[in-house]
Amino acid sequence: MLTLENIRFCYKNSAAPIFDGLSLRAEKGSFVSIIGASGSGKTTLFRLLNGLEQPEEGRILIDGEPLSAHRQYASYMPQQDLLFPWLTVEKNVMLPMTVQKKPKEEAAAKARELLRQVGLEGWENRWPRELSGGMRQRVSFARTLCAGGDILLLDEPFSALDSITRIQLQEWLMDQWKQLNKTILFITHDVEEAIFLSQKILVLTGHPVTGLMEFTVPMPKERNREMLLLPETARLKEDLIALLRREAKAEGTEGAERIHDADEAGIDR
Ligand SMILES: Nc1ncnc2c1ncn2[C@@H]1O[C@H](COP(=O)(O)OP(=O)(O)OP(=O)(O)O)[C@@H](O)[C@H]1O
Ligand SMILES: [Mg+2]
3-state SS, one letter per residue, for the chain: CEEEEEEEECCCCCCCCCEEEEEEEECCCCEEEEEECCCCCHHHHHHHHCCCCCCCEEEEEECCEEHHHCCCCEEEECCCCCCCCCCCHHHHHHHHHHHCCCCHHHHHHHHHHHHHHCCCCCCCCCCHHHCCHHHHHHHHHHHHHHCCCCEEEEECCCCCCCHHHHHHHHHHHHHHHHHHCCEEEEECCCHHHHHHHCCEEEEECCCCECCEEEEECCCCCCCCHHHHHCHHHHHHHHHHHHHHHHHHHHHHHHHHHHHHHHHHCCCCC
pLDDT digits (tens, 9 = 90+) for 63-105: 889 888 887 789 999 888 789 999 999 999 999 999 999 999 9
Residue 12 Cβ < 6 Å to ligand 1: no
Q: How far is the CA of 74 from the centre of ligand 1 (A)?
A: 20
Q: How far is the CA of 83 from the centre of ligand 2 (A)?
A: 18
Residue 158 has pLDDT above 60, yes or no: yes
Q: Which domains does the chain have, with CATH numbers?
A: 2-73+155-264 (3.40.50.300), 84-148 (no CATH)
Q: Please give the pLDDT value at position 252.
A: 67
- 162 or 108, higher pLDDT: 108
> What number is the average pLDDT over the span 191-214?
94
Read off the pTM.
0.90
Q: Please give the pLDDT value at position 161.
A: 86
- 251 or 1, higher pLDDT: 1
Q: Please give the pLDDT value at position 255.
A: 53
Share of the chain above pLDDT 70, in %: 93
Note the residue count of the chain. 269
* Nearest atom, ligand 1, residue 44 CA: 18
Q: How far is the CA of 165 from the centre of ligand 2 (A)?
A: 21
Q: Please give the pLDDT value at position 262.
A: 42
Residue nearest to atom 19 of ligand 1 (CA): 39
Residue nearest to atom 8 of ligand 1 (CA): 44
- Which mutation among 42, 56, 207 tests ligand 1's pocket best, with the greatest number of atoms within 8 A of CB? 42
Residue 269 has pLDDT above 80, yes or no: no
pLDDT digits (tens, 9 = 90+) for 32-55: 999 998 889 999 999 999 889 999
Whether the CB-CB separation of 135 and 123 falls below 8 Å is answered with: yes
Ligand number with the minimum distance to the CA of 49? 1
Q: How far is the CA of 230 from the centre of ligand 2 (A)?
A: 30
Residue 137 Cβ < 6 Å to ligand 1: no
Bond preceding residue 17 cis, omega within 30 of 0 = no
Residue 267 has pLDDT above 80, yes or no: no
Residue 211 has pLDDT above 90, yes or no: no
Residue 236, number of CB atoms within 10 A of its CB: 21
Residue 260, number of CB atoms within 10 A of its CB: 10
Long-range contact pairs involving 103-106 (C-beta distance under 8 Å, separation at least 24): none
Residue 11 Cβ < 6 Å to ligand 1: yes
Q: Please give the pLDDT value at position 98.
A: 93
Q: How far is the CA of 39 from the centre of ligand 1 (A)?
A: 5
Ligand number with the minimum distance to the CA of 190? 1
Residue 225 has pLDDT above 60, yes or no: yes
